[in-house]
């Protein structure tokens, strides 16, 4: 059964015998994009605790990291736009 709420889709996922586990996916993400990675990312205990504190109940680390990546991309875009705007060098375009 799938429950769609806002921008995410929640569906049950079997996890080592835990029938209550759920997976949270952005609605626009295809199942083929959700293939598990075989890599590990080593982090310090402090970073792990901070990351765990940012995760919502039922949210996967995959989803949390995906949200953080999107926020960082947007932040960088706005930072670039601000830098370009401060330079003030624009080219007039004829329409």
Higher pLDDT, 24 or 84: 84
The structural domains of the chain, with segments of one domain joined by +, span 3-31+43-87
Neighbours of 87 (CB within 10 A): 8
Span between the terminal Cα atoms of the chain, in Å: 52
Structure tokens at 63: 């989803």
- pLDDT for 25-76, tens place per residue? 555 555 556 667 677 889 899 999 999 999 999 999 889 999 999 999 999 9
Check residue 52 and give its pLDDT.
93
pLDDT band at 77 (very low <50, low <70, confident <90, very high): very high
Check residue 5 and give its pLDDT.
47
Structure tokens at 2: 């799938």
Q: Which residues pair with 8 in a beta bridge?
A: 5, 26
Check residue 89 and give its pLDDT.
77
Higher pLDDT, 64 or 92: 64
Check residue 3 and give its pLDDT.
46
Residue 86 has pLDDT above 70, yes or no: yes
Give the global pTM. 0.53
């Amino acid at each position: 059964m799938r429950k769609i709420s806002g921008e995410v889709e929640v569906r049950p996922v079997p996890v080592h015998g835990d029938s209550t586990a759920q997976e949270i996916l952005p609605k626009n993400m295809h199942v083929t994009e959700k293939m598990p990675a075989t890599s590990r990312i080593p982090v310090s205990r402090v970073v792990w605790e901070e990351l765990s504190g940012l995760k919502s109940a039922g949210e996967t680390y995959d989803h949390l990291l995906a949200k953080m990546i999107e926020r960082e991309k947007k932040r960088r875009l706005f930072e670039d736009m601000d830098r370009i705007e401060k330079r003030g060098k624009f080219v007039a375009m004829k329409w």
